Amino acid sequence: MLLVYLGANVALLFFMQKSSPNGFKPVTHAVLPAVGAASIIVPLYYLSKPGQAAPYDWYPYIALAILVASIAYATYLTRRDPSLATRVGSIIADH
């Protein structure tokens, strides 16, 4: 969940600059997502810090594998249907 939140905060900056550069508000679309992203760095560190007992020491590897698989799947879907990324982004932005 933390990785999804981090990704959404980072993606908002790029999405707003690309889809609506005139509607880009620095505080709303850059500063607040940056604060949100920074606020989850500490929990992510403590989830993945070295030296934890099993199965907690597996977390970084599992999270990285899921992240890589998700990016690969999203890339595959976007290459198969190039308009998909725009449609998904507009649906999320409208709600």
Residue 93 has which token pair?
A: 């932005």
- d(Cα 39, Cα 28) in Å, to the nearest integer? 16
Q: Contact at 8 Å (CB) between 12 and 89? A: no
pLDDT of residue 95: 52
pLDDT of residue 9: 87
Residue 74 has which token pair?
A: 């999203």
Domains identified in the chain, total number: 1
The tens place of each residue's pLDDT in the chain, 95 residues long, gives: 888 888 888 888 888 877 777 888 888 888 999 999 899 888 888 888 888 888 888 888 898 899 899 999 989 998 998 888 777 766 665 55
Query: What residue numbers bound the domain in which 28 lies?
Result: 2-94
Burial category of 12 from C-beta neighbours within 10 Å (exposed 0-12, middle 13-18, buried 19 and up) = buried
Cis peptide before 55 (omega within 30 of 0): yes
